[in-house]
Amino acid sequence: MISKLTIHSTTTLSSGKQIPLLGLGVWKNRSPVPACSAAFDAGYRHVDCAILYKNEEEVGVAIRGSDLKREDIFITSKVISRWHGYDMTLKAIDDSLDRFKLDYLDLYLIHEPLSGKAKRLETWRALIKRRDDGKLKSIGVSNYGIKHLEEIKEAGLETPSVNQIELHPWCQQRPIVDYCQKNNIVIETYSPLTRGQNLDDPTLQNVAKKYHKDGAQILIRYSLQKGWIPLPKSSQPQRVLSNAQVYDFELDTDDMGALDSLDRGKDGAVTRNQVDAP
């Protein structure tokens, strides 16, 4: 049952690997060690990083400074479009590992589909190569629309294990979500808290009052009950802890429906939506 979710809950990727259902986002956090340390203390075992964030080295420091075994922490990074292309991506992955000072990453994603079809496919082949080399445990994509996912299928290449996209009640991207669910692609959600832009929404606040929670906790729980993996970002240790306090309640059907009714499609996005990139 949904109510039996805990901070240690995982799901199985198509690679056969387990991924924790809650992750810490470290975007725009140039000093992520305190947040990562607080997350590990609170029970998080999943950190979502990227080359773009320019903090892989610092996240590596946090990992090595923890009392956790490497195999107990799930680490993701991503390659941005300026590093797309087969050889460039191979180097980008190796450079990420060097910055983290790790032997492998649990998940590596193509960060965005902005380099055109040919380079996207070359980049995907590079991820497959490094996965086969043992440097990546699982591979996936981010900001991919159905067209981009179909490209991979039409090229006869394996399906990504993950697609990380913006998702929350105001931007539900239902066609992409349906496609991913039908094709065994696990969905991760970035900006699940809408970067704070909708936390004062009256519907959200009414739901929050009912459960004696704050808006951020309601949005994280909403994502979990949708079957998505939320990656809330915070640089504040106390907020990191608060964001994990979502396992002592369950949103009922009416409240999930009320949040679902807030969908504004692409107009509800709080980031530049890249799923329609040519």
Question: How high is the pLDDT of residue 27?
Answer: 85
Residue 6: predicted pLDDT: 97
| Residue extents of the structural domains in the chain | 16-268
Model confidence over 196-253: pLDDT tens digits?
A: 999 999 999 999 999 999 999 999 999 999 999 999 999 899 999 999 999 999 999 9
Residues with a catalytic annotation lie at 53
Specify the CATH number of the domain 16-268: 3.20.20.100
Model confidence pLDDT, tens digit, residues 134-153: 999 999 999 999 999 999 99
- pLDDT exceeds 80 at position 57: yes
Rounded mean pLDDT, 21-43: 91
Kindly indicate the confidence band of residue 273, based on its pLDDT and cuts at 50, 70 and 90: confident
pLDDT band at 32, cuts 50/70/90? Answer: confident
**Three-state helix/strand/coil letters over the chain:** CHHHCCCCCEEECCCCCEEECCCEECCCCCCCHHHHHHHHHHCCCEEECCHHHCCHHHHHHHHHHCCCCHHHCEEEEEECHHHCCHHHHHHHHHHHHHHHCCCCEEEEEECCCCCCHHHHHHHHHHHHHHHHCCCEEEEEEECCCHHHHHHHHHCCCCCCCEEEEECECCECCHHHHHHHHHCCCEEEEECCCHHHCCCCCHHHHHHHHHHCCCHHHHHHHHHHHHCCEECCECCCHHHHHHHCCCCCCCCCHHHHHHHHCCCCHHHHCCCCCCCCCC
Name the token pair of 93.
Answer: 């992955």
Predicted confidence at residue 199, as pLDDT, reads 98
Instruction: Please say if the pLDDT value at position 2 is more than 70.
Output: no
The model's pLDDT over 95-135, given as tens digits with 9 standing for 90+, comes to 999 999 999 999 999 999 999 999 999 999 999 999 999 99
Residue of 211, 192, 215 whose CA lies nearest to 249: 211
- Please give the pLDDT value at position 1: 42
